[in-house]
Amino acid sequence: MTPSYIASDTIRTAFSRAMSAMYRQEVPQYGTLLELVAEINARVLRDDPALAARLSESDQLNRISEERHGAIRLGTADELAMIRRLFAVMGMVPVGYYDLSEAGIPVHSTAFRPVTEQALRRNPFRVFTSLLRLDLIADARLRADAEERLSRRDIFTPGVRRLIDRHESQGGLNAEDAEQFVEEALETFRWHHEATVDHATYLRFLQTHRLLADVVCFRGPHINHLTPRTLDIDAVQREMPVRGIVPKAVIEGPPSRRCPILLRQTSFKALQERVNFLDGDGQQRLGSHTARFGEIEQRGVALTPAGRAVYDRLLAEVRDAIIPHDDGSNAEAYQTTLAAVFAQLPDDWETLRRERLAYFSYRYAIPDVHRATGHFELDSLEELIADGIVVAEPITYEDFLPVSAAGIFQSNLGDDARQEVGQNANQAALERDLGVGVADPFAIYEQMEQASLASLF
Protein backbone atom coordinates (compact mmCIF):
# COMPACT_ATOMS: atom_id res chain seq x y z
CA MET A 1 0.00 0.00 0.00
CA THR A 2 1.40 3.42 -1.01
CA PRO A 3 2.05 5.69 1.99
CA SER A 4 -0.15 8.79 2.27
CA TYR A 5 2.08 11.82 2.68
CA ILE A 6 1.02 15.41 3.36
CA ALA A 7 1.79 17.85 0.53
CA SER A 8 4.63 20.28 1.17
CA ASP A 9 2.26 23.17 0.35
CA THR A 10 -0.04 22.04 3.16
CA ILE A 11 2.84 21.79 5.66
CA ARG A 12 4.09 25.23 4.61
CA THR A 13 0.66 26.77 5.11
CA ALA A 14 0.31 25.17 8.55
CA PHE A 15 3.75 26.38 9.55
CA SER A 16 3.25 29.96 8.32
CA ARG A 17 -0.06 30.19 10.20
CA ALA A 18 1.53 28.81 13.37
CA MET A 19 4.41 31.26 12.99
CA SER A 20 1.97 34.15 12.58
CA ALA A 21 0.01 33.12 15.69
CA MET A 22 3.20 32.82 17.73
CA TYR A 23 4.55 36.18 16.58
CA ARG A 24 1.22 37.86 17.23
CA GLN A 25 1.42 36.63 20.83
CA GLU A 26 5.05 37.68 21.22
CA VAL A 27 4.71 41.08 19.50
CA PRO A 28 1.16 42.46 20.05
CA GLN A 29 1.75 45.34 17.62
CA TYR A 30 2.02 42.76 14.85
CA GLY A 31 -1.63 41.89 15.50
CA THR A 32 -2.57 45.56 15.21
CA LEU A 33 -0.64 45.70 11.95
CA LEU A 34 -2.51 42.68 10.56
CA GLU A 35 -5.84 44.32 11.36
CA LEU A 36 -4.77 47.56 9.66
CA VAL A 37 -3.53 45.77 6.54
CA ALA A 38 -6.73 43.71 6.29
CA GLU A 39 -8.87 46.87 6.50
CA ILE A 40 -6.84 48.71 3.85
CA ASN A 41 -6.78 45.71 1.50
CA ALA A 42 -10.57 45.40 1.76
CA ARG A 43 -10.91 49.12 1.04
CA VAL A 44 -8.66 48.93 -2.03
CA LEU A 45 -10.55 45.97 -3.46
CA ARG A 46 -13.88 47.71 -2.84
CA ASP A 47 -12.73 50.93 -4.48
CA ASP A 48 -10.93 49.28 -7.42
CA PRO A 49 -13.23 46.63 -8.93
CA ALA A 50 -10.88 46.18 -11.91
CA LEU A 51 -8.01 45.20 -9.62
CA ALA A 52 -10.29 42.89 -7.64
CA ALA A 53 -11.45 41.22 -10.86
CA ARG A 54 -7.89 40.83 -12.17
CA LEU A 55 -6.69 39.24 -8.93
CA SER A 56 -9.72 36.96 -8.84
CA GLU A 57 -9.39 35.88 -12.48
CA SER A 58 -5.71 35.08 -12.03
CA ASP A 59 -6.45 33.10 -8.84
CA GLN A 60 -4.35 35.46 -6.68
CA LEU A 61 -7.05 36.98 -4.49
CA ASN A 62 -6.96 34.30 -1.80
CA ARG A 63 -3.18 34.35 -1.46
CA ILE A 64 -3.09 38.02 -0.43
CA SER A 65 -4.52 37.37 3.05
CA GLU A 66 -2.26 34.31 3.54
CA GLU A 67 0.90 35.98 2.34
CA ARG A 68 3.76 36.49 4.80
CA HIS A 69 7.49 36.70 4.76
CA GLY A 70 9.75 36.35 7.77
CA ALA A 71 13.43 36.92 8.43
CA ILE A 72 16.06 35.17 10.53
CA ARG A 73 19.79 35.60 11.15
CA LEU A 74 21.99 32.53 11.54
CA GLY A 75 25.46 32.19 13.03
CA THR A 76 27.15 29.17 11.42
CA ALA A 77 27.41 27.24 8.18
CA ASP A 78 26.00 24.16 9.93
CA GLU A 79 22.91 26.13 10.96
CA LEU A 80 22.43 27.33 7.38
CA ALA A 81 22.78 23.83 5.93
CA MET A 82 20.27 22.43 8.41
CA ILE A 83 17.75 25.24 7.91
CA ARG A 84 17.88 24.49 4.18
CA ARG A 85 16.85 20.91 4.92
CA LEU A 86 14.09 22.14 7.27
CA PHE A 87 12.62 24.48 4.65
CA ALA A 88 12.83 21.74 2.01
CA VAL A 89 10.19 19.80 3.95
CA MET A 90 7.87 22.73 3.21
CA GLY A 91 8.75 22.94 -0.49
CA MET A 92 10.98 26.01 -0.04
CA VAL A 93 14.35 26.38 -1.78
CA PRO A 94 17.06 29.09 -1.62
CA VAL A 95 16.50 31.73 -4.30
CA GLY A 96 18.86 34.63 -5.00
CA TYR A 97 21.99 35.99 -3.33
CA TYR A 98 22.03 39.24 -1.36
CA ASP A 99 25.23 40.92 -0.16
CA LEU A 100 24.53 43.38 2.66
CA SER A 101 28.17 44.02 3.54
CA GLU A 102 28.26 46.99 1.17
CA ALA A 103 25.76 48.68 3.49
CA GLY A 104 27.91 48.02 6.55
CA ILE A 105 26.06 44.90 7.70
CA PRO A 106 28.27 41.78 8.14
CA VAL A 107 25.90 39.23 6.59
CA HIS A 108 24.99 37.74 3.26
CA SER A 109 21.62 36.23 2.57
CA THR A 110 19.27 34.16 0.47
CA ALA A 111 15.49 33.74 0.52
CA PHE A 112 13.82 30.37 1.01
CA ARG A 113 10.54 30.19 -0.89
CA PRO A 114 8.35 28.03 -3.14
CA VAL A 115 9.12 28.43 -6.85
CA THR A 116 6.31 26.85 -8.88
CA GLU A 117 3.24 28.83 -9.90
CA GLN A 118 0.93 26.33 -8.24
CA ALA A 119 2.86 26.36 -4.96
CA LEU A 120 2.99 30.16 -4.91
CA ARG A 121 -0.76 30.36 -5.34
CA ARG A 122 -1.26 27.91 -2.48
CA ASN A 123 0.97 29.86 -0.10
CA PRO A 124 3.91 32.11 -1.08
CA PHE A 125 5.55 32.03 2.39
CA ARG A 126 9.17 33.23 2.27
CA VAL A 127 11.96 33.50 4.83
CA PHE A 128 14.80 35.95 4.19
CA THR A 129 17.73 34.13 5.77
CA SER A 130 21.01 35.84 6.63
CA LEU A 131 24.29 34.25 7.69
CA LEU A 132 26.62 36.17 9.98
CA ARG A 133 30.02 36.76 8.36
CA LEU A 134 32.54 36.65 11.18
CA ASP A 135 35.31 37.05 8.58
CA LEU A 136 34.20 40.70 8.32
CA ILE A 137 34.69 41.34 12.06
CA ALA A 138 38.10 42.97 12.52
CA ASP A 139 38.59 42.14 16.23
CA ALA A 140 40.27 38.69 16.13
CA ARG A 141 39.70 37.98 19.83
CA LEU A 142 36.01 38.85 19.64
CA ARG A 143 35.66 36.85 16.43
CA ALA A 144 37.15 33.77 18.09
CA ASP A 145 34.87 34.24 21.10
CA ALA A 146 31.82 34.42 18.84
CA GLU A 147 32.89 31.32 16.90
CA GLU A 148 33.35 29.33 20.10
CA ARG A 149 29.98 30.36 21.53
CA LEU A 150 28.11 29.66 18.31
CA SER A 151 29.76 26.24 17.96
CA ARG A 152 28.23 25.16 21.29
CA ARG A 153 24.61 25.95 20.54
CA ASP A 154 22.04 23.83 18.71
CA ILE A 155 19.08 25.80 17.40
CA PHE A 156 17.15 22.70 16.31
CA THR A 157 15.19 20.31 18.53
CA PRO A 158 16.06 16.58 18.41
CA GLY A 159 12.49 16.00 17.26
CA VAL A 160 12.73 18.21 14.19
CA ARG A 161 16.06 16.65 13.25
CA ARG A 162 14.48 13.18 13.35
CA LEU A 163 11.52 14.31 11.26
CA ILE A 164 13.75 15.96 8.64
CA ASP A 165 15.74 12.73 8.38
CA ARG A 166 12.48 10.78 8.04
CA HIS A 167 11.19 13.11 5.34
CA GLU A 168 14.38 12.72 3.35
CA SER A 169 14.59 8.94 3.72
CA GLN A 170 10.95 8.12 2.91
CA GLY A 171 10.07 11.04 0.64
CA GLY A 172 7.40 12.67 2.83
CA LEU A 173 5.63 12.90 6.17
CA ASN A 174 2.27 11.45 7.18
CA ALA A 175 -0.36 13.61 8.87
CA GLU A 176 0.82 12.90 12.42
CA ASP A 177 4.47 13.53 11.56
CA ALA A 178 3.61 16.71 9.63
CA GLU A 179 1.75 18.12 12.61
CA GLN A 180 4.64 17.31 14.93
CA PHE A 181 7.11 18.79 12.44
CA VAL A 182 5.32 22.15 12.55
CA GLU A 183 5.40 22.17 16.37
CA GLU A 184 9.07 21.18 16.54
CA ALA A 185 10.21 23.53 13.76
CA LEU A 186 8.48 26.47 15.42
CA GLU A 187 10.82 26.17 18.42
CA THR A 188 13.77 27.28 16.29
CA PHE A 189 12.09 30.64 15.65
CA ARG A 190 10.75 31.34 19.14
CA TRP A 191 11.87 34.34 21.22
CA HIS A 192 13.74 33.62 24.47
CA HIS A 193 14.04 36.22 27.24
CA GLU A 194 17.22 34.61 28.58
CA ALA A 195 20.55 35.53 26.99
CA THR A 196 23.33 32.95 26.76
CA VAL A 197 26.01 35.42 27.88
CA ASP A 198 26.58 37.75 30.80
CA HIS A 199 25.77 41.43 30.41
CA ALA A 200 29.38 42.56 29.99
CA THR A 201 29.93 40.08 27.14
CA TYR A 202 26.69 41.19 25.52
CA LEU A 203 27.88 44.80 25.61
CA ARG A 204 31.20 43.84 23.99
CA PHE A 205 29.39 42.25 21.05
CA LEU A 206 26.85 45.08 20.91
CA GLN A 207 29.54 47.76 20.72
CA THR A 208 31.24 45.98 17.83
CA HIS A 209 28.00 45.55 15.88
CA ARG A 210 24.40 45.36 17.07
CA LEU A 211 23.70 42.47 14.73
CA LEU A 212 26.61 40.51 16.18
CA ALA A 213 25.00 40.71 19.62
CA ASP A 214 21.63 39.65 18.21
CA VAL A 215 23.03 36.51 16.61
CA VAL A 216 25.64 35.38 19.15
CA CYS A 217 24.01 36.11 22.49
CA PHE A 218 20.79 34.10 22.24
CA ARG A 219 19.71 30.47 22.04
CA GLY A 220 18.34 30.70 18.53
CA PRO A 221 17.51 32.87 15.52
CA HIS A 222 14.27 34.32 16.86
CA ILE A 223 12.10 35.47 13.97
CA ASN A 224 12.91 39.18 13.86
CA HIS A 225 9.94 40.25 11.77
CA LEU A 226 6.92 38.87 9.98
CA THR A 227 5.45 40.73 7.05
CA PRO A 228 1.90 40.82 5.63
CA ARG A 229 1.27 42.03 2.07
CA THR A 230 -0.77 45.15 1.46
CA LEU A 231 -2.33 46.51 -1.70
CA ASP A 232 -1.63 50.13 -0.65
CA ILE A 233 1.53 50.63 1.39
CA ASP A 234 1.21 54.43 1.32
CA ALA A 235 -2.12 54.16 3.16
CA VAL A 236 -0.54 51.82 5.72
CA GLN A 237 2.33 54.26 6.23
CA ARG A 238 -0.10 57.14 6.81
CA GLU A 239 -2.40 55.23 9.16
CA MET A 240 0.14 53.42 11.36
CA PRO A 241 0.60 56.41 13.69
CA VAL A 242 -3.19 56.56 14.14
CA ARG A 243 -2.96 53.01 15.55
CA GLY A 244 -0.12 53.94 17.90
CA ILE A 245 2.57 52.45 15.64
CA VAL A 246 5.62 54.53 14.70
CA PRO A 247 6.73 53.72 11.12
CA LYS A 248 10.22 54.12 9.71
CA ALA A 249 10.81 57.46 8.02
CA VAL A 250 10.48 56.43 4.38
CA ILE A 251 9.16 53.51 2.37
CA GLU A 252 12.00 51.45 0.88
CA GLY A 253 12.04 50.64 -2.83
CA PRO A 254 10.49 52.34 -5.87
CA PRO A 255 8.01 55.21 -5.62
CA SER A 256 4.25 54.83 -5.75
CA ARG A 257 3.17 54.09 -9.34
CA ARG A 258 0.03 53.23 -11.31
CA CYS A 259 1.75 49.98 -12.26
CA PRO A 260 3.62 48.73 -9.16
CA ILE A 261 7.04 47.17 -9.73
CA LEU A 262 9.21 44.91 -7.60
CA LEU A 263 8.83 45.51 -3.88
CA ARG A 264 8.06 48.38 -1.51
CA GLN A 265 8.58 47.91 2.24
CA THR A 266 8.09 49.81 5.45
CA SER A 267 8.25 48.81 9.11
CA PHE A 268 7.68 49.95 12.65
CA LYS A 269 10.59 50.54 14.97
CA ALA A 270 12.15 47.59 16.74
CA LEU A 271 10.91 46.88 20.24
CA GLN A 272 13.05 47.17 23.35
CA GLU A 273 12.50 43.83 25.06
CA ARG A 274 13.35 42.60 28.54
CA VAL A 275 16.26 40.15 28.68
CA ASN A 276 17.74 38.26 31.60
CA PHE A 277 21.53 37.98 31.67
CA LEU A 278 23.27 35.39 33.86
CA ASP A 279 26.30 37.09 35.37
CA GLY A 280 29.42 35.39 36.65
CA ASP A 281 28.21 35.20 40.25
CA GLY A 282 25.21 33.14 39.16
CA GLN A 283 22.80 36.03 39.66
CA GLN A 284 20.39 37.14 36.98
CA ARG A 285 20.72 40.70 35.74
CA LEU A 286 17.81 42.37 34.02
CA GLY A 287 18.61 44.18 30.78
CA SER A 288 17.10 44.79 27.36
CA HIS A 289 17.67 43.99 23.69
CA THR A 290 16.34 45.60 20.52
CA ALA A 291 15.86 43.41 17.45
CA ARG A 292 12.28 42.48 16.58
CA PHE A 293 9.91 44.66 14.62
CA GLY A 294 6.94 44.65 12.25
CA GLU A 295 7.14 45.08 8.50
CA ILE A 296 4.67 45.57 5.64
CA GLU A 297 5.24 45.01 1.95
CA GLN A 298 3.56 45.82 -1.35
CA ARG A 299 4.56 43.63 -4.29
CA GLY A 300 4.50 44.60 -7.94
CA VAL A 301 5.55 43.05 -11.22
CA ALA A 302 8.85 41.17 -11.60
CA LEU A 303 11.26 43.01 -13.88
CA THR A 304 13.37 41.35 -16.57
CA PRO A 305 17.18 41.81 -16.51
CA ALA A 306 16.68 44.80 -18.82
CA GLY A 307 14.04 46.29 -16.54
CA ARG A 308 16.10 45.60 -13.43
CA ALA A 309 19.10 47.34 -15.00
CA VAL A 310 16.94 50.45 -15.47
CA TYR A 311 15.67 50.19 -11.88
CA ASP A 312 19.19 49.84 -10.46
CA ARG A 313 20.46 52.77 -12.53
CA LEU A 314 17.61 55.03 -11.44
CA LEU A 315 17.94 54.06 -7.78
CA ALA A 316 21.69 54.78 -7.92
CA GLU A 317 20.86 58.17 -9.45
CA VAL A 318 18.49 58.91 -6.56
CA ARG A 319 20.97 57.84 -3.90
CA ASP A 320 23.74 59.88 -5.50
CA ALA A 321 21.50 62.89 -5.02
CA ILE A 322 20.02 62.14 -1.58
CA ILE A 323 20.13 59.47 1.12
CA PRO A 324 17.10 59.31 3.44
CA HIS A 325 17.91 60.13 7.05
CA ASP A 326 16.77 57.69 9.71
CA ASP A 327 15.08 60.51 11.62
CA GLY A 328 12.89 61.44 8.64
CA SER A 329 14.24 64.99 8.42
CA ASN A 330 14.62 64.80 4.63
CA ALA A 331 11.83 62.29 3.92
CA GLU A 332 9.79 64.68 1.79
CA ALA A 333 12.81 65.70 -0.30
CA TYR A 334 13.76 62.06 -0.77
CA GLN A 335 10.26 61.07 -1.97
CA THR A 336 10.17 64.03 -4.36
CA THR A 337 13.55 63.08 -5.85
CA LEU A 338 12.58 59.40 -6.06
CA ALA A 339 9.37 60.17 -7.97
CA ALA A 340 11.10 62.60 -10.33
CA VAL A 341 13.93 60.22 -11.24
CA PHE A 342 11.68 57.18 -11.65
CA ALA A 343 9.47 59.08 -14.11
CA GLN A 344 11.97 57.75 -16.67
CA LEU A 345 10.61 54.20 -16.20
CA PRO A 346 7.40 53.53 -18.18
CA ASP A 347 4.32 53.35 -15.96
CA ASP A 348 1.84 51.44 -18.10
CA TRP A 349 1.52 47.68 -18.47
CA GLU A 350 1.62 47.59 -22.26
CA THR A 351 4.89 49.49 -22.55
CA LEU A 352 6.50 47.44 -19.80
CA ARG A 353 5.44 44.29 -21.63
CA ARG A 354 6.24 45.34 -25.21
CA GLU A 355 9.68 46.68 -24.27
CA ARG A 356 10.44 43.47 -22.33
CA LEU A 357 11.02 45.38 -19.09
CA ALA A 358 8.76 43.13 -17.00
CA TYR A 359 7.52 39.53 -16.98
CA PHE A 360 3.95 38.61 -17.88
CA SER A 361 1.84 35.48 -17.82
CA TYR A 362 -0.52 34.81 -20.72
CA ARG A 363 -3.93 33.12 -20.66
CA TYR A 364 -7.09 32.98 -22.73
CA ALA A 365 -9.73 35.50 -21.67
CA ILE A 366 -12.25 32.66 -21.88
CA PRO A 367 -10.73 29.64 -20.08
CA ASP A 368 -12.25 26.96 -22.35
CA VAL A 369 -10.77 28.38 -25.55
CA HIS A 370 -8.37 25.95 -27.27
CA ARG A 371 -6.25 26.50 -30.35
CA ALA A 372 -4.46 24.07 -32.60
CA THR A 373 -0.89 23.37 -31.66
CA GLY A 374 1.61 24.98 -33.97
CA HIS A 375 4.40 27.51 -34.39
CA PHE A 376 3.48 31.14 -33.92
CA GLU A 377 5.19 34.47 -34.35
CA LEU A 378 5.12 37.35 -31.89
CA ASP A 379 2.84 39.28 -34.22
CA SER A 380 0.15 36.63 -33.90
CA LEU A 381 0.33 36.83 -30.10
CA GLU A 382 -0.01 40.61 -30.28
CA GLU A 383 -3.06 40.19 -32.50
CA LEU A 384 -4.65 37.81 -30.01
CA ILE A 385 -4.02 40.31 -27.21
CA ALA A 386 -5.36 43.21 -29.28
CA ASP A 387 -8.50 41.21 -30.10
CA GLY A 388 -9.07 40.46 -26.41
CA ILE A 389 -8.66 36.71 -26.91
CA VAL A 390 -5.47 36.50 -24.82
CA VAL A 391 -4.85 38.40 -21.58
CA ALA A 392 -1.36 39.39 -20.37
CA GLU A 393 -1.05 39.54 -16.58
CA PRO A 394 1.91 40.89 -14.57
CA ILE A 395 3.91 38.18 -12.81
CA THR A 396 4.30 39.06 -9.13
CA TYR A 397 7.80 39.72 -7.85
CA GLU A 398 8.49 37.09 -5.18
CA ASP A 399 11.97 38.14 -4.08
CA PHE A 400 13.81 40.96 -2.30
CA LEU A 401 15.97 44.02 -2.99
CA PRO A 402 19.43 44.42 -1.40
CA VAL A 403 19.23 48.18 -0.81
CA SER A 404 15.74 47.88 0.67
CA ALA A 405 16.78 44.98 2.91
CA ALA A 406 19.74 46.99 4.15
CA GLY A 407 17.49 49.98 4.83
CA ILE A 408 15.13 47.86 6.93
CA PHE A 409 18.07 46.32 8.81
CA GLN A 410 19.62 49.70 9.57
CA SER A 411 16.42 51.42 10.68
CA ASN A 412 15.77 48.67 13.20
CA LEU A 413 19.30 47.91 14.39
CA GLY A 414 19.91 51.57 15.18
CA ASP A 415 21.89 54.42 13.68
CA ASP A 416 25.21 52.81 14.64
CA ALA A 417 24.48 49.70 12.54
CA ARG A 418 25.92 51.34 9.43
CA GLN A 419 29.57 50.45 10.00
CA GLU A 420 32.47 50.07 7.63
CA VAL A 421 32.88 46.45 6.59
CA GLY A 422 33.30 47.05 2.86
CA GLN A 423 31.89 45.31 -0.18
CA ASN A 424 32.56 41.60 0.13
CA ALA A 425 30.09 39.65 -1.97
CA ASN A 426 30.85 35.93 -1.88
CA GLN A 427 28.04 33.88 -3.37
CA ALA A 428 30.30 30.83 -3.70
CA ALA A 429 30.89 30.80 0.06
CA LEU A 430 27.16 31.02 0.83
CA GLU A 431 26.42 28.20 -1.60
CA ARG A 432 29.19 26.09 -0.07
CA ASP A 433 27.65 26.59 3.37
CA LEU A 434 24.15 25.86 2.06
CA GLY A 435 25.31 22.69 0.37
CA VAL A 436 23.47 23.67 -2.84
CA GLY A 437 23.46 26.50 -5.34
CA VAL A 438 20.90 29.28 -5.07
CA ALA A 439 18.26 29.46 -7.79
CA ASP A 440 18.33 32.37 -10.23
CA PRO A 441 15.17 34.48 -9.78
CA PHE A 442 15.23 35.70 -13.39
CA ALA A 443 15.29 32.11 -14.64
CA ILE A 444 12.24 31.29 -12.52
CA TYR A 445 10.20 34.22 -13.88
CA GLU A 446 11.32 33.50 -17.44
CA GLN A 447 10.22 29.88 -17.09
CA MET A 448 6.82 31.01 -15.79
CA GLU A 449 6.35 33.35 -18.73
CA GLN A 450 7.45 30.78 -21.30
CA ALA A 451 5.24 28.07 -19.76
CA SER A 452 2.22 30.35 -20.02
CA LEU A 453 2.99 31.04 -23.70
CA ALA A 454 3.45 27.34 -24.39
CA SER A 455 0.05 26.60 -22.88
CA LEU A 456 -1.66 28.85 -25.45
CA PHE A 457 -0.62 26.94 -28.57
pLDDT tens digits, 303-331: 999 999 999 999 999 988 988 877 778 88
Instruction: Judge if 87 and 105 occupy the same domain.
Output: yes
How many domains does the chain divide into? 2
The sign of the CA dihedral 397, 414, 235, 341 is negative
**Cβ pair 268, 293 in contact under 8 A:** yes
Instruction: Judge if 337 and 197 occupy the same domain.
Output: no
349: number of CA atoms within 13 Å, CB side? 11
- Summarize pLDDT for 258-305 with one digit per residue, the tens: 999 999 998 887 678 888 888 766 677 888 887 777 889 999 999 999
Instruction: Judge if 326 and 417 occupy the same domain.
Output: no
How far apart are alpha carbons 187 and 68 in whole angstroms? 18
pLDDT reading at 2 higher than 80: no
Q: Which domain holds residue 50?
A: 8-300+400-439
- DSSP tally for the chain: helices H, then strands E: 19, 11
Instruction: Judge if 254 and 328 occupy the same domain.
Output: no
Mean pLDDT of the chain, nearest integer = 88
pTM for the structure as a whole: 0.90
CATH number at residue 171: 3.10.180.80
Residue 453 falls inside a structural domain: no
How far apart are alpha carbons 140 and 134 in whole angstroms? 9
Instruction: Judge if 253 and 289 occupy the same domain.
Output: yes
Residue 267 falls inside a structural domain: yes
Instruction: Judge if 141 and 61 occupy the same domain.
Output: yes
How far apart are alpha carbons 158 and 58 in whole angstroms? 42
Instruction: Judge if 64 and 18 occupy the same domain.
Output: yes
Residue 149 falls inside a structural domain: yes
How far apart are alpha carbons 366 and 214 in whole angstroms? 53
Residue 363 falls inside a structural domain: no
Residue 288 falls inside a structural domain: yes
Instruction: Judge if 55 and 115 occupy the same domain.
Output: yes
Residue 452 falls inside a structural domain: no
- Summarize pLDDT for 128-146 with one digit per residue, the tens: 999 999 988 888 999 999 9
pLDDT band at 436 (very low <50, low <70, confident <90, very high): very high
Instruction: Judge if 315 and 413 occupy the same domain.
Output: no
Instruction: Judge if 296 and 180 occupy the same domain.
Output: yes
Instruction: Judge if 204 and 327 occupy the same domain.
Output: no
Query: For residue 227, what are the contacts with CB-CB under 8 A and spacing of at least 6?
Result: 68, 69, 70, 265, 294, 295, 296, 297
pLDDT band at 64 (very low <50, low <70, confident <90, very high): confident
Residue 36 falls inside a structural domain: yes
Residue 449 falls inside a structural domain: no
Instruction: Judge if 159 and 31 occupy the same domain.
Output: yes
Is the model more confident about 443 or about 209? 443
